[in-house]
A and B are shown apart, each in its own frame.
Chain A
Amino acid sequence: MLEGPIKIIVPCGSLGAGVHEDEVRRGLEMGAHAIATDAGSTDSGAAYLALGVSKNNRASVKRDLAILMKAGAEAGIPVIVGTSGQAGGDKNVDWTRDIALEIAGELGLKPKIALLYSEQDKAALKARNAAGAIRPLAPLGPLDDATIDACDHIVAVLGAEPYVAALEAGADLILGGRTTDTAVLSSFALLKGAPWGPAWHAAKIAECGSQCAVYRTKGAGVLISIDAEGFEVEPLSLENRCDPHSVSAHMLYENANPFLLTEPGGVLDVTAARYAALDDRRVRVTGSVWDEKPYTLKLEGAGSGGFQTLMLIGIQDPEVLSRLDEFHDKMLAALNHRVQTTIGEAAGDYNISLRLYGWNAVSGDRPPEGTPAPREVGVMFVATAATQEMATQIAKACNAWFFHFPIVEDDELPSYGFAFTPADIERGAVYEFKLNHVIAIDDPMALARTTWIDLTKKEAA
């Protein structure tokens, strides 16, 4: 362990969200030993893994990464990034690598870069599955080969060990594939011999940057300081502060269980943790326990579940608005009938849903009897089919009905408010996560692949 606490700058909740250069500088002045952040999660859905693209725009990620790489180089401390490019698949990592190389070239930096890939080969996974190494997490059942094949990309969610190994080998910059947020932030402290309970708990608290502080909008980052008995956390913005409530409440965030956090190789148990104010900005946490378990990694896989075509109308007709639920049901039945009579069996396993924005689009529930009608509603038509072409054919078959469907049969045909021409909008594929399984491994490095780019050994980036 280092003399004194191990200090790590967590500059933002996610790379690309907006690092504050002055906060990073303050962290360096406070003696930080490393900078660490994740760059994504599953939160925004399966498309980013399935497509291998980032949710953030390139310029935002480049701006943040440039600030961190410059700071790391000036202070001679490592910069650690996990879940690169939002989803941490190989394509997401390579996208981030290219940005880092561009920055290095522009700023004249020569970091030794470790790329930690965590994407998994389907045949190898099937073999491990057949050997009984993969088990499901609720609510999914056992894994079959067809599900593996239905995924476009599959990643293992790495733990801290590949990061510790890369740091030991002298990495200045680590760009990791899919990794638990906590492993990215704890790895440097684990390398330096910090106790595991405080190291993982500090990482969990800091995973969203300043979200564990009192004010969500003041500043972006925090500094965690981990020592032999516990850890401290403080916001990097002088305008913000942490208090025991803001810090302990972060254990609730995006976490099904507020006391236990399952990680590769163990469970963080904060049941007995105590949170105390050190002053008006800093909180000290003690009593965090790491409970070592057999080593497992979670698997994430994403693939397409069909294609969608949309249409959107606005309705202000008071007669329709006074009988919205009835209108919804009648129109949906008419549209399905229309598909069956015009396209028939060729439509395959299709789905049409109508979502009444302004009424019940978000829940789909019937509002209580007597709920007053709004002044207008937007009706979104969503056709899902096995191919984009069929989804669009279904929308086209429904177009006139969707446009003119009357609440009272034989009434003069109404015309609802279409916003666009053409009326149908091809949305592309529907992406779903298809795996919620863990894989047991003996060697924590078994599913990670590390490659190096050492810019000190190249003429120029």
Chain B
Amino acid sequence: MTTVKDVCRHVRSKNAGPYWVTFDLFFDGPESFEKHHANPALGPQLFQRLFGADPALVRHYPVADLNVVKISYARTSPQGGVVERDMHCGQQFVRLLDVRLD
């Protein structure tokens, strides 16, 4: 069993403006990047399941030069709103760490 945290040297999440959240998965090398960056386990359904995201508003950008995949989704509740628990979305990455890639 391989999880995200097994093949990434760093994973982070952050606001990208008030309406989008972006995740950067820094793979531990080109081999891991090639093997896992397009894994369906990291697809829109994951973000729907974990964050309630609209799958049509999940974007996926491989950045081969950096061995990074960037995944962004539109927030479902406004930044700083009534039910806010993570204003800057800085802790949202934690839920990706144990996602199984195989």
Contact = CB atoms under 8 A, between A and B. Distances in A.
B30 interface: no
A222 interface: no
B17 A45 contact: no
A42 B82 CA distance: 18
A245 B64 CA distance: 12
Interface string A222-252: 0000000000000000000000010011001
Contacts of A384: 82
A432 B81 contact: yes
A355 to B, nearest CB: 6
A139 B74 contact: yes
A217 interface: no
Interface string A443-456: 00000000000000
B18 A46 contact: yes
A256 B14 contact: no
Interface in A126-174: 137-140
B18 A258 contact: no
Interface in A183-198: none
Contacts of A137: 19
B57 interface: yes
A256 B18 contact: no
A155 to B, nearest CB: 13
B64 to A, nearest CB: 11
Contact of B80 (A45, A249, A254): A45
Interface string B38-79: 000000000000000010010101010110101010110011
B54 A139 contact: yes
A140 B19 contact: yes
B79 A245 contact: no
A355 B72 CA distance: 26
Interface stretch (A62-70, A328-336, A362-370): A362-370
Contact of B16 (A139, A256, A300, A364): A256
Given A139-B54, A139-B75, A254 B95 contact: no
A22 to B, nearest CB: 30
B79 A305 contact: no
A256 B59 contact: yes
B5 interface: no
A255 interface: yes
A257 B61 contact: yes
A207 B89 CA distance: 20
Nearest to A249: B66
Instruction: Point out which of B20, B24, B72 has the most chain A C-beta atoms below 10 A from its C-beta.
Output: B20
A248 B94 CA distance: 24
B48 to A, nearest CB: 14
A85 interface: no
A362 B86 contact: yes
A258 B70 contact: yes
Interface of A: 42-47, 137-140, 245, 248-249, 252-259, 275, 300, 305-306, 308, 351, 353, 355, 361-365, 384, 430-433, 436
Given A257-B72, A306-B82, A436-B18, 16 more contacts: A42-B18, A45-B87, A140-B19, A255-B16, A256-B16, A256-B70, A257-B61, A305-B78, A305-B81, A355-B85, A361-B85, A431-B80, A432-B81, A433-B18, A433-B80, A436-B17
6 contacts: A45-B80, A139-B74, A254-B14, A305-B82, A433-B18, A436-B18
